[in-house]
Amino acid sequence: MKEALNSYNDQWSHNTEVYYLGLANWKLGKHAVAIKYLEEIDKEYEKEKKLDPQFRTAYELLIKYNDSIGNKDKQLLYINKLMLLDRSYEKNFKYLYSKINKEYDTQKLIDIKNRIEKSLKFRNYLGVFLLLLISIISFYGYRFYKLQKIYKARFDDIVAEKSKK
């Protein structure tokens, strides 16, 4: 199937073929392979700024995959894109929007998005706090080292002075 896809000599993107290759690999448990195909759907959406409603599940799978590997940044990116797609579908496909089979409804997407944003914000604050803590410890460690050097030099001077007497 992949060879057949590569043999096309036209300007069309062949989203349907790419989508079903991704879906088939997902169903076979080859998630890493499936994601490559599903990301091609995303690239096409980025280029064209529109996507047929039948490919909506590609974003649901991208969200699910990035959640399973713990990549919160990409998961948030795909949630935002899916929410944009849903708004576009609601506006442009009113008759079809209510019939679209969705694993992630809008409220669930908003809840997940808020949870991820809080998690990322906490991670950023934690990083800044740790950097600040390491800086303070380093500063006081360096200061302690310098004071020890000064005290040792003074002690050596006092001992040398006492030994001369």
Per-residue pLDDT of the chain (165 residues; tens, 9 = 90+): 555 555 555 556 678 888 999 999 999 999 999 999 999 999 988 888 888 888 888 999 999 999 999 999 999 999 999 888 888 877 776 666 666 656 667 778 888 888 888 988 998 999 999 999 999 999 999 999 999 999 999 999 999 888 886
* Residue 43 is assigned to a structural domain of this protein: yes
Is 19 part of a structural domain of the chain? yes
Please state, in angstroms and rounded to a whole number, the distance separating the CA atoms of residues 79 and 141: 45
Tell me, yes or no, whether 140 and 90 share the same domain. no
Alpha-helical segments (H) within 70-105: 72-92, 94-97
Q: Is residue 109 part of a domain?
A: no
> Which structural domain range is residue 48 located in?
1-104
DSSP state of 54: G
Quick one: 121 and 49 in the same domain? no
Q: Are residues 98 and 28 in the same domain?
A: yes
How far apart CA 78 and CA 60 sit, in angstroms, is 8
User: Do both 89 and 126 map to the same domain?
Assistant: no
What does the alpha-carbon distance between residue 67 and residue 71 come to, in Å, rounded to a whole number? 6
Q: What is the pTM of this model?
A: 0.64
Same domain for 149 and 100: no
If asked whether residues 8 and 33 sit together in one domain, one would say yes
Checking 58-62 for CB contacts under 8 A at 24+ apart, the result is 58/19, 58/22, 59/85, 60/102, 60/103, 60/104, 61/22, 61/23, 61/26, 61/34, 61/35, 62/35, 62/38
Same domain, 81 and 121: no
Question: Total structural domains in the chain?
Answer: 2
Out of 77, 104, 131, pick the residue that ends a domain.
104
Q: Is the domain of 33 the same as that of 79?
A: yes
Q: pLDDT value at position 22? A: 93
